[in-house]
Amino acid sequence: MKQISSAKCAFGARENGHIMARNSDETRFQQQRDRVLKAAAHCFNRKGYSGTSLKDVADMLGLTDPALYYYVRNKEELVYLCYVRAADVGREAMYRAIAEGGSGLEQVRRYLRYHIEIMVGEQGPIAIMSEIPSLKPEHRDEVLELSRRHSLDFEKLLERGIADGSIQTCDVRMTGNAIMGSINWIPKWYHGDDAIAQKTVAEFPEILSCGLAANTG
């Protein structure tokens, strides 16, 4: 019995070691691919889809072309993954703001701050979704659906604020489009200056939301 138990322990140790090594490999892969997506976002935001090559991204990272193909199969997939990452960032900022509660207006302002902090912080840059027509149909449909859901979630935040009296009555669709359009364009003009990043995080949420507040006077 002791021999069997020892064998089981040894097998379990080898199995756990294999799982830990596999998880470690997956983590390293995800970290490196995230670096690839940041570099690609930088290139796409400045040079567009047609003006960016995979070699541009590889050179920025100090990788060989074959090494880059370990993380993405082609440029179309690279654009697609950049856009999925952009959608993930927005969703995480939104859910974090909602989870912390407060009035609709407070949640809107927190969401704006959290989203902008990511865009101009260490997790940036985030790709501007301006090259959606370059995606193949299934990728295009997925990205458009992610964008649509995010817009609807933001409109619900506005409606929540109208219902609780913190946001004045407005056309939530038009208001949401105006605010989201302003946020999504930040990567086009922000180029890594720390002072500009701090001012953007400090001032943009207030600028974009100041017209929302209900007149309680």
Query: Mapping DSSP to helix (H, G, I), strand (E, B) and coil, where does residue 167 land?
Result: strand
- Calculate what percentage of the chain has a pLDDT beyond 90: 70
Residue 12 has pLDDT above 70, yes or no: no
Both tokens of 135, joined, read 């995606």
Considering the domain boundaries, does residue 119 fall inside one?
yes
- Give yes or no for a contact between 112 and 183, defined as CB atoms under 8 angstroms apart: yes
Considering the domain boundaries, does residue 215 fall inside one?
no
Considering the domain boundaries, does residue 216 fall inside one?
no
Residue 125 has pLDDT above 50, yes or no: yes
Tell me the mean pLDDT in the region 30-50. Answer: 90
Q: pLDDT: is 162 or 28 the higher one?
A: 162
Considering the domain boundaries, does residue 214 fall inside one?
no
- What single letter denotes the amino acid at residue 55? K
Considering the domain boundaries, does residue 217 fall inside one?
no
Instruction: Return the closest-CA partner of residue 155 out of 101, 212, 196, 204.
Output: 212
Q: What is the reported pLDDT for 216?
A: 60
Residue 96 has pLDDT above 70, yes or no: yes
Considering the domain boundaries, does residue 77 fall inside one?
yes
CA atoms of 166 and 201, how far apart (whole Å): 22
Considering the domain boundaries, does residue 145 fall inside one?
yes
Q: What is the reported pLDDT for 15?
A: 63
Q: Is the peptide bond before 125 cis (omega within 30 degrees of 0)?
A: yes
Q: Which residue has the tokens 């090559």?
A: 53
Q: What is the reported pLDDT for 1?
A: 44
pTM: 0.83
Tell me the mean pLDDT in the region 148-166. Answer: 96
The torsion of the CA quartet 70, 73, 78, 81, rounded to 10 degrees, works out to -80
Residue 111's domain comprises: 2-209
Q: What is the reported pLDDT for 124?
A: 86
Number of domains the chain contains: 1
pLDDT confidence band for 25 (50 / 70 / 90): low
Query: Mapping DSSP to helix (H, G, I), strand (E, B) and coil, where does residue 61 land?
Result: helix
User: For position 6, which CATH number holds?
Assistant: 1.10.357.10
Considering the domain boundaries, does residue 70 fall inside one?
yes
pLDDT confidence band for 31 (50 / 70 / 90): confident
